[in-house]
Structure 1
Amino acid sequence: MLTCFAPDLTPAQTTYQLSEEESKHAVRVLRLAAGDAVALIDGRGGLYTAEIAEANPKRCQLRITHHETVAPRSYFTHVAVAPTKNLDRMEWFVEKAVEVGVERISFLRCARSERRELKLERLEKIAISALKQSGQAWLPQMDELQDFGAFVDGVAPETTFIAHLEEGERTALTQVAGAGPGCCVLIGPEGDFTPQEIALALAKGIRPVTLGASRLRTETAALAAVFTAQIVRA
């Protein structure tokens, strides 16, 4: 069944019009006709079933036949990552993180960051596509690129962890992530966080963690953090 993203759909509605892009895909590409079923998600917990009332390739009209609301997950996973110079690698991370399950993704501008600017539009489209593919109901929050210092000023230190590669005592994320209602994991750039950034985080009460014995790429480490949180809360 075709799944479409309908961010402006509300439970009170009995009809819905697909966007021109979704209409063209449904009618011209998939050859759907009147009476065929379509699934809709609003990204805010709403799952809808509809049938095509008018198969117009520019303004496909739907009739809503069923609606249910999925409660948000009880455990909140937040990953804050320094985006890589090659944006394809961040796109891969966003796609897989949404498929696995993540509630929030933030982007950090660190001292060693190779990418100093970031446009979210492309990443948001990838997140929506992954949401539809995985059949989930909640679209993760995605935050604009922010300086590391400003970001750590705004987090709750008791549920925030920094995954760095410097020498020193670090606890496995698997041992600490499930202790509270959720977790926020900070993932640095390819050159890692600087000693000054690590010291700043630790001074604010953020605890150091490890994701395992291997030295991981930035996007792999970020996905490992998401996956670890999923296992812990399962």
Structure 2
Amino acid sequence: MHVFYTPDIQNHTELPDEEVTHAVRVLRLQVGDRVTLTDGKGNFYRAEISTVTNKRCLVNILEIIPQETLWSGHLHIAMAPTKNMDRTEWFAEKATEIGFDELTFLNCRFSERKVIKTERIAKILVSAIKQSLKARLPKLNEMTDFNKFITQPFSGQKFIAHCYEGEKPLLKDILHPGEDALVLIGPEGDFSEEEVKNAIKNGFIPISLGRSRLRTETAALVACHILNLQNQ
């Protein structure tokens, strides 16, 4: 099944330039061929190609394909990007395959990467929803200062994973299925003690992701999987 992403789908829809390249030059699709579209908002559409040129591909929508809800609640991962961008990109791809709703990058005291280009991450998210047949494209936010982020309103459950001593229940044991959830994941050097204290003051609950020592991107993926699995 050939799946294409276009955020604005009408009865007669023109594919975005990057999707035209794949449809026309790679797959060599022709007028009359059937394709599947997703708007990234939870919908799949069955369509038929009506016009093809080297630079344009137009389709007619035939029907909406009914979709079951794969998980409940709004699942948000906020993480410090890794020094090696390949690892952050790996997380973005795999987390999308699992299924979540929002990704925010955090600028923390011990962050080794202070700048991130979200354009490439955005393309990875789109590719991953098509590959894994997900109809919900995660919202991607620009990098945000940690102390600013933790003061922003969030009506759901809020958690922070850190490596300091103290009482930290397992995420899977205190997560309330069906509710919105946000998990903070720190950089390779962890959050600072002050950051942890500030997060707790702002309603974040310290949690453990298990006994294993995890890299940043692995911890974020484990958190994502727990959120998704508990909300199915």
Which band: TM-score by shorter chain?
over 0.9
- 1:181 and 1:194 map into 2 onto residues whose CA distance is 28
Moved more, 154-163 or 188-197: 154-163
For normalisation by structure 1, the TM-score amounts to 0.93
- 1:14 and 1:229 map into 2 onto residues whose CA distance is 36
List runs of 5+ in structure 1 lacking aligned partners.
none
| 2:129 aligned residue (128, 131, 141) | 131
- 2:8 and 2:156 map into 1 onto residues whose CA distance is 36
Deviation at 1:184, TM superposition (A): 0.6
Contact kept, 8 Å, 1:19 with 1:58, in 2: the verdict is no
Q: Which residue of 1 aligns with 2:3?
A: 3
Q: Which residue of 1 aligns with 2:152?
A: 154
| Distance change >3 Å, CA 16–CA 179, structure 1 → 2 | closer
Contact kept, 8 Å, 1:76 with 1:102, in 2: the verdict is yes
Deviation at 1:48, TM superposition (A): 0.8
Deviation at 1:180, TM superposition (A): 5.8
CA displacement 1:7-44 (0-9 Å, x = unmatched): 121xxx32222233322322232122221111101111
One-letter amino acid of the counterpart of residue 170, structure 1: K
| 2:180 aligned residue (168, 179, 182) | 182
| 1:26 aligned residue (23, 27, 30) | 23
- 1:157 and 1:53 map into 2 onto residues whose CA distance is 45
- 1:14 and 1:70 map into 2 onto residues whose CA distance is 19
CA displacement 1:92-118 (0-9 Å, x = unmatched): 101111110011111111000001111
- 1:205 and 1:25 map into 2 onto residues whose CA distance is 46
One-letter amino acid of the counterpart of residue 229, structure 1: L
Q: Which residue of 1 aligns with 2:199?
A: 201
Q: Which residue of 2 aligns with 1:96?
A: 94
One-letter amino acid of the counterpart of residue 129, structure 1: S
Identity over aligned residues, as a percent?
46
Question: Which runs of structure 2 are paired with 1:79-94 in the superposition (5 Å)?
Answer: 79-94=77-92
Q: Which residue of 2 aligns with 1:232?
A: 230
**What SS does the corresponding residue of 2:214 show, helix, strand or coil?**
coil
One-letter amino acid of the counterpart of residue 173, structure 1: L
CA displacement 1:167-207 (0-9 Å, x = unmatched): 11100000112256121110000000111111111222211
| Distance change >3 Å, CA 157–CA 40, structure 1 → 2 | closer
Question: Within the alignment, does 1:50 sit opposite 2:9 as a pair?
Answer: no
Contact kept, 8 Å, 1:82 with 1:107, in 2: the verdict is yes
One-letter amino acid of the counterpart of residue 4, structure 2: C
List runs of 5+ in structure 2 lacking aligned partners.
none
- 2:155 and 2:198 map into 1 onto residues whose CA distance is 12
**What SS does the corresponding residue of 2:176 show, helix, strand or coil?**
helix
Contact kept, 8 Å, 1:157 with 1:204, in 2: the verdict is no
Query: Over aligned residue pairs, what C-alpha RMSD do you find?
Result: 1.7
Q: Which residue of 1 aligns with 2:112?
A: 114
**What SS does the corresponding residue of 2:78 show, helix, strand or coil?**
strand
- 2:150 and 2:66 map into 1 onto residues whose CA distance is 33
For normalisation by structure 2, the TM-score amounts to 0.93
- 1:76 and 1:21 map into 2 onto residues whose CA distance is 29
| 2:189 aligned residue (170, 177, 191) | 191
Number of residue pairs matched? 231
